[in-house]
Structure formats: C-alpha cells, structure tokens
Amino acid sequence: MGKTFINGIGCVSAQDTVNGFPSEFIIDPSTNYLEIVKPDYKDYFSPIASRRMAKGVKNGIVASTVAMKEAGNESPDAIITGTGMGCIEDSDKFLKAIIDNKEEFLTPTSFIQSTHNTVASTIAINLGCKAYNFTYVNGAVSFESALYDAKLQLDADEAHSVLIGGVEEMTEYTKSLFKLAGFIKPDDSGPHNILEADTKATVFSEGATFFMLEDERKDSTYAEILDVEIVNKLTPEEAAEHAEAFIRRNNLTLHEIDAVVLGYNGDSEFDGYFKAVAKNFDFAPQMYYKHVSGEYNTASAFGLYVGANILKSQQIPSDLKANDESRPAYRNMLLYNQYRGLDHSFTLISV
C-alpha cells in the first residue's frame, strides 16, 4: 500500500490565498456572497488567452500552477478535478444565445467551453500532458471523489504524482436562481454569524483549490492523507457514529485526533450535523472555514487547504477557531463536510 503526501497547494478564494496561507482573514458578516480575490492573471497567461477563458478555467490554471511549482513537479502522472457546477458561465452564455437567436446561427464556442472537464483538459493542454485526465461531477463530494481516485492510483502504484483540484464559478444569473431556491441567504439579511446561525441558507462564493499529491515525502510536504470516505445520506447521529468508526478503522482512538475541521456554513437546518460530530470531539481544537471561503460544491477543498497548512505550520489562526481548546502539537486531523444533509465526506490527514 502506497502513501499519499500533499507536496504542493495552490488556492484562489475569497481570501488572498494565492500568495500563501493568511495569518489573518477578511471576514464580512454583512454580505451573503463573498467575492473572490482575483490573482494577477497576466502572470500566468496572456491577456488574449485570458479573454477567452471563463473564471473557473483561469482560477484553476492559477491554482494548479502554484501547486505544481511548490512541489517542483510540472509533469503529473494524472490530472483529476472535481466540480459541482462546472463552467456555468459559458453554459449561461450558450443558453442565452439559444433564446436570443431563436435556436439559429449559434456559434459552438461557449458550448464547447461549458463542459465540466474544461479546466482539467486546459491544464493538460498547457502542460502537454497526455496522461490520465478525469473530472468528477458529484455534488458536494466532487472534490472528495477526485481525491479518492488519486489516492487509489497512488496506493496501487499506478501513478507517482497526481494533480487534483476542486473548482467552482458563479454567475449573476445562477446566483439569482440560488436565492430563489433558498440556497443563498436573502439580500440585506446580515449580519451572519456562521456558528450561531438561526436562519436557513448559506453565504455563497466560488474558488479553485489544487493539490499536488505524490507518493514520497519532500521538504515541501504539508501532510499525509491517510483515508477518505464518502457517504451519501446519514442522520446527524449516524454522522457522529460514522466519524468515530472511520477513525477506529484507521487504528486510532478519538483522543488521538488533535484537531477537527468542520464545514459549518450557517444553515440552521443542516448545521446540526456538524454539531453532532463536534460533540464527540469537545476535547480537541475545532475549526471552521466557510465564513472566510463561502459555501460552494467544492468548498471542502478549501477545508483541506486549511487543515494541511495548520499541520505544516502547527498553528491555528484565531479567525478559524470554533472553540478554545488547544494542543501543544497537531499530528492527526479529521475533516468532515456535508451539504444540505447529503454528500457526507470524512478525510483523515496526518503530519
């Protein structure tokens, strides 16, 4: 059985994460949507190329470039991405063109670029990489599906390095639909306190987070990924029991978990899942992150970004603390996420 190490990370998010892990985060409780901090795209591709790319593609290229550079590896044996909504910007453009032009005289560009695998394929084309290339579209566990695939390949010795990532983008039209559907909190409904929310829906955003996974430890190593598990449907009580069973399956006890990263998103209807899991770990430091990243289908990739950086630095930023517990050292960490009561993911990482 091989090992899986995170040797490089790149992240584009609602925080200034392109240049490294922030010691302080910008928190705006008044808004229901967090705008991403755009990187300087001209440092990664030409303005001409940039005009043809959707946000998700540009952010994915930036994040993947940073991850590969940090790991010192620009020739991965596989490229795997996860996305819930795909390139929704180009999808919107194509559907609007169908309506405006009454289904006539349509150009195929937006349709071609709207496919969910556009990010992974564009990265591969830029690298000249003809290796395994796959995109998972599996709701809120799209990223974990990519992570699971990558770990299987490394475990089976079918790859020595795998570039994985989670990418989402948002448009004004899709945002308006999400508000109508009750996924995003209403305008002017703040301030929003994620941990003490008493209203439904969430604060949304978008982003791209990439990891270079390799089967050997390096100076740049952040953490080792021990295990990943995905469950579609659980009750809060079952989620807590599953978390405990997941840890014991990896030959650890609950008290050997030094920190827990939970995906609280401020939706009072479903945050009970996180509270149920957290109750089993009231002795350990607990963290949350969606108040700084926003919610989106692959926000759990940002959660792994947070967890990996904390293990590497051995420090928890005060803005991310969900309780007052602390440890002299952080070795084993559990990450748990779910969205609207479905798509539960459990990830175990270690130094």
Query: CB within 8 A of 84, min separation 6: which ones?
Result: 137, 138, 139, 140, 142, 168, 296, 297, 298
Domains 5-214 and 226-350 share a fold: yes
User: Where is pLDDT greater, at 44 or 90?
Assistant: 44
What pLDDT is stored for residue 124 in this prediction?
97
SS3 (DSSP) at 123:
helix
CB 28 within 8 A of CB 133: no
Q: What is the average pLDDT across 20-40?
A: 96
Task: Check whether 91 has a pLDDT greater than 90.
Answer: no
Domain 5-214: homologous superfamily in CATH:
Thiolase/Chalcone synthase (3.40.47.10)
Residue with tokens 């002795």: 283
Each residue's pLDDT tens digit, 247-273 = 999 999 999 999 999 999 999 999 999
For the chain, give every domain's residue range.
5-214, 226-350
- Supply the DSSP string of 191-202, one letter for each residue: ---STT--SSSB
Task: Check whether 1 has a pLDDT greater than 80.
Answer: no
What pLDDT is stored for residue 92 in this prediction?
83
Amino acid identity of residue 22, one-letter, is P
* Among 253, 255, 256, 295, residue whose Cα is nearest residue 274: 295
Each residue's pLDDT tens digit, 206-240 = 999 999 999 999 999 999 999 999 999 999 999 99
Query: CB within 8 A of 231, min separation 6: which ones?
Result: 242, 344, 345, 346
What pLDDT is stored for residue 254 in this prediction?
97
CATH number of 226-350: 3.40.47.10
What pLDDT is stored for residue 159 in this prediction?
97
Query: CB within 8 A of 109, min separation 6: which ones?
Result: none
Each residue's pLDDT tens digit, 46-65 = 888 888 888 999 999 999 99
Instruction: Give the chain's largest Cα–Cα span.
Output: 66
pTM over 0.85: yes
- Looking at every residue in the chain, the average pLDDT score rounds to 95
Task: Check whether 104 has a pLDDT greater than 90.
Answer: no
